Amino acid sequence: MLTALNQNKKSFVAPLLSRSELDEIRKEDLTCPSCRQPVLLKAGKIKIPHFAHLAKSTCKFGSKESIEHLEGKLILFKWLQAQEIPARLEYFIPSIQQRIDILVKWNNQFYGLEYQCSKIPYEQLRERSEGMMSLGITPIWIFGMKFLNRKRNSHLGLTSLLQTSIIHFPEVASSRIFFLNSLMKDFQIFYPKARLNHTAFGGFIQKPITNLSFPELFSLENNHSVNYSFTWLNWKKSLRTKPPFAMTELEYNFMKYLYFRQLHPQNLPSIIGLPSINSWHYLQPDYIWQSAFIIDYYTKIPVGESFTYQEAYRSVAKYFQEKLTTVYPSPSIHPLYSYLLLLEELCYVKSTNRSTFKKCKQVLFPKTLDQALLFDQNLMYLLNKLRS
Ligand SMILES: [Zn+2]
């Protein structure tokens, strides 16, 4: 950790002290601000000056922190100080037994900045977020470089941990996720626009931290359009042809679902599995609820007949029960609603008002694999044409 208290409860930030100041406080009785157990000053050559618990310590914040984590916290803290934004480093809150990396007060609102460099279960992250929210502190997760799995220019590999921390709240126009490279002192903001299982499609903004202000974390927008045809076609082909021995439990259950309806992934309509918007806070992959919607609901409605959004939602509601995060409010457009808008673009439905849709055409179930792959290609071609 970077902070410690002396016997007079004066707080020190080790890396902000000069060599002689460090030599002075080394002589004092230093304690951990969270557990009040004794700590030692470590001012060696490899890591930045910091404090460490004694080996016998029972403090839950006593475990060794990586250089990346220590330096990242310090960079963020100095960055806020330079903007004259009130910030407290390693702020311990006894009532929730949490130590927030940096507590920030901005615009009469508290934010808890967490620089996450190590892998933790997403449930743990959610718990820490909920702890902060219970005190009215908005959690902001900033991830270290090992989480930045950037594929192609506009693809980000998603883990449940990242999905849990995609930020969406009323003050920001679009969802986003933050990364900090503490070595290069660079921020990267990713704006997910659509998701396909564990890949998010969207845009990146990369900026040196000195060229970015704290409020800009929320106000900066990215309006890149994304083309996911190549990735989608590959994925859809593998869904159609995947050998049973290579399946996850989820995929196996999906196969069972199809089997009971005398279907095979080869025969799935092309419009199933379209990358949807705002679905990142849900555990279920989109192709599963989209299958249930198309196969069990949409195909049963006669062409020309109308249905309400509520009726459509009821047919798939069970797939949206399990959420990865309860911390950030869901974006106002539900994934199913955005899927219906996509189907409208493709002329399958027509909205008669905001909550009623008319079915315009029947869905084609391909008979062979060749036909299915051709339908998929045509669909992507059409979608790209509509959007260009
Ligand atoms: Zn401690």
**Distance between Cα 37 and ligand 1 center (Å):** 6
pLDDT for 93? 96
- The model's pLDDT over 307-324, given as tens digits with 9 standing for 90+, comes to 999 999 999 999 998 888
**Distance between Cα 5 and ligand 1 center (Å):** 11
- The model's pLDDT over 68-121, given as tens digits with 9 standing for 90+, comes to 999 999 999 999 999 999 999 999 999 999 999 999 999 999 999 999 999 999
pLDDT for 222? 87
Within-domain flag for 62:
no
pLDDT for 194? 87
What range does the domain containing 140 cover?
Answer: 67-219
- The model's pLDDT over 25-72, given as tens digits with 9 standing for 90+, comes to 999 999 999 999 999 999 887 789 999 999 888 898 877 889 999 999
Within-domain flag for 224:
no
pLDDT for 62? 76
Residues 246 and 359 in one domain: yes
DSSP alpha helix (H) spans, 91-215: 122-133, 160-164
Burial 213-245 (b: 16+ CB within 10 A, else e): ebeebbebeeeeebbbeebbeebbeebbeeeee
**Distance between Cα 123 and ligand 1 center (Å):** 23
Reduced to 3 states (helix: H, G, I; strand: E, B; else coil), residue 101 is: strand
Residues 104 and 185 in one domain: yes
**Distance between Cα 32 and ligand 1 center (Å):** 5
Residues 83 and 107 in one domain: yes
- Is the separation of the CB atoms in 311 and 321 below 8 Å? no
pLDDT for 56? 87
Reduced to 3 states (helix: H, G, I; strand: E, B; else coil), residue 185 is: coil
Residue 292 has pLDDT above 90, yes or no: yes
Residue with tokens 């800009």, as numbered in its chain: 216
- The model's pLDDT over 201-245, given as tens digits with 9 standing for 90+, comes to 999 999 999 999 999 999 999 887 888 999 999 999 999 998 877
Task: Estimate the crossing angle of helix 309-316 against helix 335-345, to 10 degrees.
Answer: 120
Within-domain flag for 58:
no
Percent over 70 (pLDDT), the chain: 99
**Distance between Cα 111 and ligand 1 center (Å):** 23
- The model's pLDDT over 116-144, given as tens digits with 9 standing for 90+, comes to 999 999 999 999 999 999 999 999 999 99
145 vs 179: CA distance, rounded Å: 7
pLDDT for 204? 93
Residues 36 and 124 in one domain: no
Q: Which residues pair with 138 in a beta bridge?
A: 111
Boundary-marking domain end, from 219, 249, 283: 219
- The model's pLDDT over 233-244, given as tens digits with 9 standing for 90+, comes to 999 999 999 887
**Distance between Cα 214 and ligand 1 center (Å):** 29
Residues 13 and 85 in one domain: no
**Distance between Cα 60 and ligand 1 center (Å):** 7
**Distance between Cα 93 and ligand 1 center (Å):** 12
Residue 251 has pLDDT above 90, yes or no: no
**Distance between Cα 159 and ligand 1 center (Å):** 30
Residues 266 and 183 in one domain: no
**Distance between Cα 221 and ligand 1 center (Å):** 39
- Whole-model pTM? 0.89
Residue 246 has pLDDT above 90, yes or no: no
Residues 36 and 97 in one domain: no
Average pLDDT, the chain: 92
Q: What is the CATH number of the domain that holds 122?
A: 3.40.1350.10
